[in-house]
Amino acid sequence: MQDIQHVFRPAETAFFKIQTHLERTAAKVLRKEGVRGLERFLNAYTEHCLTQVGYAYHELVDYLMFRYLLDHSEVAPPRLPAISAPIIPIIPDI
């Protein structure tokens, strides 16, 4: 369980750290580009986040299987995967 927490806790911290900035940027996008622009903006952000979490999840499964299930820690990936910090899409002229 600690291995899982070491992957997801830093990611949660990074996601929460930028939440206020994301919300402010989303409000600006809504004012400037309307609902459709906001939808595109939030979809791009969400797609990036889900892609990063998906990659880390697959790498984590491999790590955990080699390390604990198959009891071959010597061939497990050398370190736990990391989820990269979320990126807020750049919207020109906001």
- With the C-alpha atoms ordered 23, 27, 28, 29, is the resulting torsion angle positive or negative? positive
Residues 37-90 pLDDT 10s: 999 999 999 999 999 999 999 989 888 887 777 766 666 666 778 887 777 776
The reported pLDDT for the residue numbered 70 is 73
The reported pLDDT for the residue numbered 73 is 64
What is the pTM (predicted TM-score) of this model?
0.75
Burial level of 35, CB count in 10 A (0-12/13-18/19+)?
exposed
Residues 13-33 pLDDT 10s: 999 999 999 999 999 999 999
The reported pLDDT for the residue numbered 89 is 73
